[in-house]
Amino acid sequence: MTPPAAGPAAGPDSGPAFVAVDWGTTNRRCFHVAADGSVIARTSDDRGILSVDDFPAEVAALRRDAGDAPLLLCGMVGSNRGWIDVPYAEAPADIAAIVAGIVRPQPGIAIVPGVVQRDELRPDIMRGEEVQILGALALKLVGDGLVCHPGTHTKWIELEGGCMMRLRTVMTGDLLAALKAKSILSDLLAHEPAADAVFLDGVDQTLEGGDLTAELFGARARVVTGQMSAADAASRISGLLIGSDLRAGLGRGRSDVVPLIGARPLCERFALALERAGRESVVIDGETAFVAGARAIMAAMGTA
């Protein structure tokens, strides 16, 4: 799918029906959405929650930019590190549960709650991805089964009857960032990993049960002993991480086709890895899903 584009239905003098803000840990994206669902303006910046010291001032600036249109704030802005700590909706959660958990701190501003899985053995949480899941459901791009949302914290979500039943988070992207920033592998990860045979060999290694931490160091050993180039080691490390991610996530349920929601380059890498696991996949653009989910939430609230 292609990202949402500005649509001609709304004239230049007509404002948005609402503004949806995908406010993450490190980045923020704002979508000015017309009544027909088209995006008439889009902005993005690095004002994620970790960069904000004065949330009331940031929200006031968003409010001014939105004019009379209501604001729908999604993601980490509703966490205990964000503006207001909004209680999670409890899984199993459908759109009605999400809407019931919305907090309205000011007139014209609503914060989406996120989803919590309360499980003695494996509790889990997500904020932001639930909006994209609801969008994919609204667009009829997903049904019952497993959905994967690759990213800093990959989410594997089991859907049934329009409900988010269970979830599992794998901090693959976060781990990769840490390895890049300060580890014995940092120099290797300065290279851009390729999605090639070396990558797929790494996928196979951890997908089939290889120990991730041992295999990660093994990539360095291969370079030191002259068995592998540094560039190939970066590809192998990427494969090891994604293979481990799939091994954790695919155990949640059997789905022959796994929808991947997010940025296309990363989703395509996961799609290659899924082929090694004998699964097909379909890539759903993350922005398209987010806008559709925000619109579905606003409609369920009776404001769009």
User: Is 291 in contact with 6 (CB distance < 8 Å)?
Assistant: no
**Mean pLDDT value of segment 87-97:** 98
8 or 47, which is more confident: 47
User: Is 20 in contact with 72 (CB distance < 8 Å)?
Assistant: yes
> How do residues 239-272 score in pLDDT, each as one tens digit?
999 999 999 999 866 789 999 999 999 999 999 9
What is the model's pLDDT at position 253?
66
Q: Examine the pLDDT at 15 and tell me if it is beyond 90.
A: no
| CB atoms near residue 262 (< 10 Å) | 22
How far, in Å, CA of 166 to CA of 141, rounded? 19
**Mean pLDDT value of segment 180-197:** 97
**Mean pLDDT value of segment 180-192:** 98
What is the model's pLDDT at position 14?
66
Question: Hey, what CATH class is 170-285 in?
Answer: alpha beta
Q: Examine the pLDDT at 10 and tell me if it is beyond 70.
A: no
What is the model's pLDDT at position 5?
41
Identify the CA nearest to 31 among candidates 48, 64, 6, 57.
Answer: 6
**For 50, how many CA atoms within 13 A lie in the half-sphere containing its CB?**
5
> How do residues 119-168 score in pLDDT, each as one tens digit?
989 999 999 999 999 999 999 999 999 999 999 999 999 999 999 999 99
Q: What is the DSSP letter of 93?
A: B
Kindly give the residue spans of alpha helices, DSSP state H, lying in the chain: 55-66, 95-100, 129-138, 172-181, 197-207, 212-224, 230-250, 264-276, 286-301
**Mean pLDDT value of segment 291-299:** 98
Average pLDDT, the chain: 94
pTM for the complete prediction? Answer: 0.92
Identify the CA nearest to 36 among candidates 16, 20, 65, 63.
Answer: 16
Percent of the chain topping pLDDT 70: 94
Please give the C-alpha separations between residue 220 and each of 186, 191, 215, 226, 245, in angstroms, as whole numbers.
10, 13, 9, 10, 21
What is the model's pLDDT at position 11?
44
> How do residues 212-242 score in pLDDT, each as one tens digit?
999 999 999 999 999 999 999 999 999 999 9
How far, in Å, CA of 285 to CA of 1, rounded? 6
